[in-house]
Amino acid sequence: MSGAAHRFDLSRWSVDVLEVRSGGRDWAMERVADMETLWESMSGIGDDEEEDIPYWAEIWPASIMLGDWLASRAELLRGRACLDIGCGLGLTACIASSLGARVTAMDRAHSPLALAGRSARRNGIPPFSTVRCDWRRPPFRARSFSFAWGADVLYEKAFFEPLERLLRTVLAPGGLAWFGEPVRTVSRPFRGWFQERGWSVKHLDLRTVSFSNLTMRVNFWELARNDQHKE
């Protein structure tokens, strides 16, 4: 385990509750209380530990937009196996689970998964599975999910290839993936990159979303394989 990951031992940090509205209701999401100290603890981080920066410790505007979308597709999600990619604090996993989806939430670190599970209990929703893994080495069976999604997970172009391999492996025939991604120069090639590799990419929405002290313009995308049909 890297030194950065060691700092994320949840037992070392006090926890508070963040109030969030998404998917048509209010959510009480647990998170690290002293965010300033958490981020300061990463000063001097080396390049080899860059991926351990605790982006998971925030609620990002893209996840609020994604949560709204999931709630609008409640009938589609109910009873279906769904994968939350880079779940962070678990907002979208909680929303989908409350709608009756069979959610598996994945992240690289243990702390966000622990907080996501605690938030599920706090909000009185059905528990969901959590899996600590690197999306470059996923442990899931092939074609095991009807839907997959992620919020603000494409902030590096280097993530495109492992994400594409993950989706190609885990989505069932006819499966869909949804992504809420802030407007950034680095993610601009996303659409063309996936289309070149056999994906249908639909731009469903562009919305300005604010939360806490953050305001972002967020694109919303739907992906499907061109060479697969629902069985």
Helix, strand, coil % (nearest 5) of the chain?
Answer: 35, 30, 35
Superfamily of 3-225 according to CATH: Vaccinia Virus protein VP39 (3.40.50.150)
Q: Which range among 134-143, 151-160, 169-178, 180-189 has the greatest average pLDDT?
A: 169-178
Asked if 141 contacts 113 with a C-beta cutoff of 8 angstroms, the reply is no
Residue ranges of domains in the chain: 3-225
Q: Report how many helices (DSSP H) and strands (DSSP E) the chain contains, helices first.
A: 8, 9
Confidence grade of residue 193 (pLDDT, cut at 50, 70, 90): very high
Q: In the chain, pLDDT over 90 holds for what percent of residues? A: 69
What mean pLDDT is reported for the chain? Answer: 88
